[in-house]
Homo-oligomer: A and B are copies of this chain.
Amino acid sequence: MLSERRLQVLRAIVQDYVGTEEPVGSKALTERHNLGVSPATVRNDMAALEDEGYIAQPHTSAGRIPTDKGYRLFVDKLAGVKPMTAPERRAIQNFLDGAVDLDDVVARTVRLLAQLTRQVAVVQYPSLTRSTVRHVELLSLAPARVMLVLITDTGRVEQRMVDCPAPFGETSLADLRARLNSRVAGRRFTDVPQLVEDLPDGFDPEDRGTVATVLSTLLETLVEENEERLMIGGTANLTRFGHDFPLTIRPVLEALEEQVVLLKLLGETQDPGMTVRIGHENAHEGLNSTSIVSVGYGSGGEAVAKLGVVGPTRMDYPGTMGAVRAVARYVGQILAES
């Protein structure tokens, strides 16, 4: 087990490195943090920390930089979450309050997060899985063509074309619309399949095919839309990455474009609380030198999606975590209101 002072030294190294972006040496450390001991002592502690794998030297005779393991310890034990100041909170709230619809909420959230953290922000659209159906609308566009519109409680709208096997009259359509909504309105997506299972039975035989087609399209929509979408912003902040960055930035940009990858990363943990993935803890290779801070958010306590930021492992964890948490909280409020 590491002594208290060694942990302090690690903390100081992380803080200085994050601030200066340069390997930190023993002398600089004692000058900037009053640890009450001499550089020589700190050197011993550093050697010990290096043995344990918490820090490393980029090359002999250079200062030390934290390893992923070092950051991990820092995040878990040494640093808290830095709360936002009151003015910051007000600014967040004001900025988000102006949103007019769901897209706008998400777009504003992305901008806000990117600005606050000066990193790349990722916001997942509220998931359909845990949300409920507000309404299903059916529109007849042609005798054998129906448009299905699904409206969720989070304000999201999805539409699908349905080509019917047989012509379908307006009255039948109205009938189906009414019955369908009486069954599924207000219900959870996951419950819908059972709820509509026997619905075709109540219809005329010649209409049953069409009803079944519509229903299966509806179910498809529910499933497909679980391949959730997300919005990304602040990629310009990647340019602050590092000195060597042409090599670093490319795979990151590529990974960010692969939304599937990000969704997988975000979804990896069910825990709606704050998650920090550091460097190689990220399964995706392109993100091995980045850290991802994410947290669930949602209306009324229950998390329906995640948001977070992607940045260099050398990031201000307490500040970033504070910003992410605060934004998630306010977005949840906004969603609950609307």
Contact = CB atoms under 8 A, between A and B. Distances in A.
A36 interface: no
Contact of A159 (B147, B155, B236): B155
Contact of A249 (B101, B224, B239): B239
A159 B160 contact: no
Please give the count of copies of this chain that the complex contains: 2
A84 B135 CA distance: 46
Contacts of A151: 139, 147, 149, 159
A30 interface: no
Q: Secondary structure at chain A's binding surface: helix, strand, loop or mixed?
A: mixed
A155 B148 CA distance: 11
Nearest to A236: B253
A233 interface: yes
Residue from the set A155, A233, A236, A253 with the largest chain B CB neighbour count within 10 Å: A236
A250 interface: yes
Interface of A: 100-101, 103, 134-135, 137, 139, 141, 147, 149, 151, 155, 157, 159-161, 224, 229, 233-236, 238-239, 245-246, 249-250, 253-254, 256-257, 338
25 contacts: A100-B224, A101-B159, A101-B160, A103-B229, A134-B141, A134-B147, A135-B139, A137-B139, A137-B149, A139-B151, A149-B151, A149-B157, A151-B159, A155-B159, A157-B159, A161-B338, A233-B257, A235-B235, A235-B253, A236-B254, A236-B257, A238-B253, A239-B246, A239-B253, A245-B246
